[in-house]
Chain A
Amino acid sequence: EVQVVESGGGLVQPGGSLRLSCAASGFTFSSHWMHWVRQAPGKGLVWVSRINSDGSSTTYADSVKGRFTISRDNARNTLYLQLIGLRAEDTAVYYCVRGSSYYDSTGFYLGEVFDYWGQGTLVTVSS
């Protein structure tokens, strides 16, 4: 059974730091791109960051660029998100999400889909 389980959330003061972890199981972790998506209380989904399967390429939303760092340890089947310089607007549930590529009938790459989501870990930034 595919599972992704987040941890590391909590209450932190503005300007503080946190490291989120995501333990993956039930699939070949090193074959999948992985993502973080967040959801502020009562709000919609916002994509935060992604990392390719071997960790050599990362992408970030403009709102977190320079403050958040995504990384992975394929030997430990674990995804990370380092958060620094936290702001009140970073308060949200952070979801770890598996990405899966899909193709058309001729084998042409069509894109990536978020097919498994963790239950999320809540980060609260407040003094």
Chain B
Amino acid sequence: QVTLRESGPALVKPTQTLTLTCTFSGFSLSTSAMCVNWIRQPPGKALEWLARIDWDDDKFYKTSLKTRLTISKGTSRNQVVLTVTNMDPGDTATYYCARSGVWGTSCTNWFDPWGQGILVTVSS
């Protein structure tokens, strides 16, 4: 069974850097065709894809946020880390990690399953 869980601070101040960790089980990010994504959702609003990291360390970012985002594999083999610099109240959202679907021998860009999400509030 594949599961993912997000962890990190619930509150950050404007201009600070947010670091979130996705801890997963049921698959290995060292295995071909495994990829993990970060997606966020401001309160009452729609979903916004942020970044993806692949088993071979390939990385993809939302273009408009690329200068502020870094996705990486964690120090533990079952973790992925997202950092967001220069946080702003507009970054207040529930942040989700999700595995990419698998299409043949590649990962694709639908998301299944998702973690439960973590609400991050940006406020002084």
Q: A and B: real partners?
A: no
Which chain A residues have a beta carbon within 8 Å of chain B's beta carbons?
none
Which chain B residues have a beta carbon within 8 Å of chain A's beta carbons?
none
